Amino acid sequence: MEEIRSNIKKILEKEKIEVKKLSLLAGDASNRKYFQYSSSRKNYVIMYDKNQKNLEDFIKVTKILKKFVVVPSIIHDFSKQSILVLENFGPTKYSEIITKKNRKKIYRLAVDTIVDIQKIRHPNLSKYSLKMFIAESNLFFDWYLKNLKSTEINLLKKEFNLLFKSYLSSIDIPQVLVHRDFHVDNLFYLSKSNSVKCGLIDYQDAVIGPCTYDLVSLTQDARIDVSKQLEYELINYFLEANLKIKREDFMLSYYLMAIQRHMKVLGIFCRLSSRDNKDQYLQHLPRVKKMLHKNLKKKKFEKFYSLLSPLLNHVRH
């Protein structure tokens, strides 16, 4: 970490940018790191990522989003040197300010933001392809399961992937810009231009995909409990803004996306522990398992339930 900090200071000093203080803000589930740096005038955020493509994608999606929703301004682009200097949204991250009293209000604001994102016409982004969905859900089989032979795991993968493909192709749902990681650690409660807004970060992996995906990420969050009542209220609130969407199609897609996302998250969290020694994510496994089981029990998912439910106790950790 000290080496990264030293490199950042050198880059900023070379660009004649004053650095009074540089402190680690956070790392995330990737190898990306965030630092806060102070100059005599302001505090900024440094986004550090050795993968230059991730920074280029962040810049690209920032340009797409900024006319529609609140995203951090890019103060300096040093992407070729692995860093971006960004506007600092401050200490108003959803996960840090959420209370019983403000919960409904700020979650509705987040849903408004999803609706605004989905108004963006024909953004130049990749499609959330079947291949991508399957690669993500395969993480469950590769990292979450234990005590199973590789031949058995491969058969389970094949069966799941065929089932998922048949469900996905049968649902007629609008394809829109998807943030892809729309949860409480990536949302900020902000006062902007005399109004309250929901600010977004960590959107470099945005794609074109089902209009249900970001709502599922918000209402079935791996990191925080959302009550059934609030979840249903937010679904209804979203559908009131999208009257053309058939509720039956929407709910089928919603639960399908929930199953796929929870499988992906279980795999990623186990991988972070096993491969990267990031054990802090294991605390969320019981919540994610519970949500996955809840979605598997929904009508029309009997085949998924019979396939996946027995596997939930084969966890590595």
The enclosing domain of 130 has a CATH number of 3.90.1200.10
Q: 141 lies in which domain range?
A: 94-313
Each residue of 220-256: pLDDT tens digit? 999 999 999 999 999 999 999 999 999 999 999 999 9
| Rounded Cα–Cα distance for residues 217 and 240 (Å) | 19
Among 42, 58, 87, identify where a domain stops. Answer: 87
Among 57, 87, 117, identify where a domain stops. Answer: 87
The enclosing domain of 28 has a CATH number of 3.30.200.20
Each residue of 190-223: pLDDT tens digit? 987 778 899 999 999 999 999 999 999 999 999 9
Question: Are 124 and 79 in the same domain?
Answer: no
Coarse DSSP helix, strand, coil percentages of the chain, rounded to the nearest 5 percent: 55, 15, 30
Question: Are 67 and 98 in the same domain?
Answer: no
Question: Are 245 and 207 in the same domain?
Answer: yes
What is the three-state SS of 84-131?
EEEECCCCCEHHHHCCCCCHHHHHHHHHHHHHHHCCCCCCCCCECCHH
Question: Are 179 and 37 in the same domain?
Answer: no
CB atoms within 10 A of CB 50: 11
Among 63, 87, 111, identify where a domain stops. Answer: 87
Each residue of 148-162: pLDDT tens digit? 899 999 999 999 999
CB atoms within 10 A of CB 234: 20
